[in-house]
Amino acid sequence: RSTGYAWDLRRDQPYLAYEEVDFDVIVGTHGDSFDRYAIRLNEIRESLRIVEQILDLMPAGDYRVQDKKVTPPPRSRIDESMEALIHHF
């Protein structure tokens, strides 16, 4: 990307939810180390834009998995029961 070639797999062959979000492919013009550094910083900003859009696309509701072996127990149970934590070691 530092050479100005604007190819990005997420845009050119979208997967997951990338088809539903708008983002820019960050490219440089000189191909030097500073360009690569500046591209990384701008890609971080662009990633934050993508995250914000994905969060807006998520439906409202509870996202916590109900399987007790996967999710940690409520904080109130942590102090009173070692069995509540046994699956998380």
Determine, yes or no, domain membership for 62.
Answer: yes
Alpha carbon distance 37, 57 (integer Å): 31
Determine, yes or no, domain membership for 1.
Answer: no
Alpha carbon distance 27, 38 (integer Å): 9
pTM above 0.75, yes or no: no
Average pLDDT, rounded, for the chain:
86
- 19-35 pLDDT, tens per residue? 999 999 999 998 899 99
Question: How many domains is the chain built from?
Answer: 1
Determine, yes or no, domain membership for 22.
Answer: yes
| DSSP conformation class of 88 | G
At residue 62, the pLDDT reads 74
Determine, yes or no, domain membership for 4.
Answer: no
pLDDT under 50: residue ranges of the chain: none
**Boundaries of domain holding 49:** 9-88
